[in-house]
Amino acid sequence: MHYSIVEVADQEKKNQLVKTCDNQPFIAKAPLVLLFLADLQRWYDFFEWSRVPEMCEARHIEYSTPQESDLLLACCDALIAAQNAVIAAESLGIGSCYIGDIMENIETHRQMFDLPRWVFPIALLCFGYPTKHEAARKKSPRFPERFVCFQDKYFRVDDRQFDTMLMEHFGKSDSFYGDAQNIGQSEYLRKTGSGFAAEMRRSVKVALKDWTEKQFR
């Protein structure tokens, strides 16, 4: 249980999240917004209460504070909980949308939700009943299964197969983002090379540094 969940009920907080999560207005309108947190703080507060540091000192062993592996494990726990919430909601006819942008603007989000150093906001989930238009809207395509699911070992797509993979995924399209000349360039400019991706990297680096900094007693 390396996770916690915060229900964002305050409308002012929802309104602020619209701005800090890359201007997505539907966040403010969502009937239910849940923030999923990778959380080691609770365990380490418990360890302090249990006098674990004193025990380690008496036994001449190192008192280990959270490191990168603990953060990854906690993120897995939080995302498993989030996906369980998505599946439960879907069984009730309720739609949901993940907001990964909650990892951005780490300083602001820490202040908004009183997050201590060993708590990281890994995902925001918005829930609501879909409109008829949304329910009928064509879902975003995914890569063909054979390029995603493998047996026994990893399969790396080669030059000969990219055309097939992309044609099955996107279909024929001459509509690209900005001045891109092909799908790869378009996806990079729209996502990986974007300003919000740069801000996400900055925020995660800040959180990683704070998370892993050695704490001495």
Place 36 in a pLDDT band, splitting at 50, 70 and 90. Answer: very high
The fraction of the chain above a pLDDT of 70, given in percent, is 94
Query: Mean per-residue pLDDT for 186-198?
Result: 88
Res. 9 pLDDT band, cuts 50 70 90: very high
Domain-embedded: residue 199: no
Q: Which whole-number Å values give the CA distances from 132 to 3, 111, 177, in the listed order? A: 34, 37, 28
In a domain, residue 87? The reply is: yes
Cβ 123 vs Cβ 109: under 8 Å: no
Per the domain annotation, does 55 fall within a domain?
yes
Q: Does a structural domain hold residue 176?
A: no
Domain span holding position 28: 3-137
- CB 208 within 8 Å of CB 71: yes
Q: Can you give the CATH number for the domain in which 29 is found? A: 3.40.109.10
Is residue 36 assigned to a domain?
yes
Is 160 within a domain? Answer: no
pLDDT band at 160 (very low <50, low <70, confident <90, very high): confident
Residue 153, pLDDT score: 96
Tell me the helices (H) and strands (E) count for the chain, helix number first.
10, 4
- On whether residue 201 sits in a domain, the answer given is no
Please, which residues bridge with residue 37 across strands?
4, 121
Q: What is the pLDDT of residue 94?
A: 95
Over the chain, what is the mean pLDDT? Answer: 91
Contacts of 40 (CB under 8 A, 6+ apart): 2, 66, 70, 71, 74, 118, 119
The count of domains in the chain is 1
Query: Given this model, what pLDDT does residue 197 score?
Result: 94
- Whether the full predicted model's pTM is greater than 0.85, yes or no, is yes
**Phi then psi dihedrals of residue 67, to 5 deg:** -125, -170
- Residue of 65, 67, 76 lying closest to 38 (CA atoms): 76
pLDDT exceeds 90 at position 71: yes
pLDDT score, position 145: 87
189 in any annotated domain: no
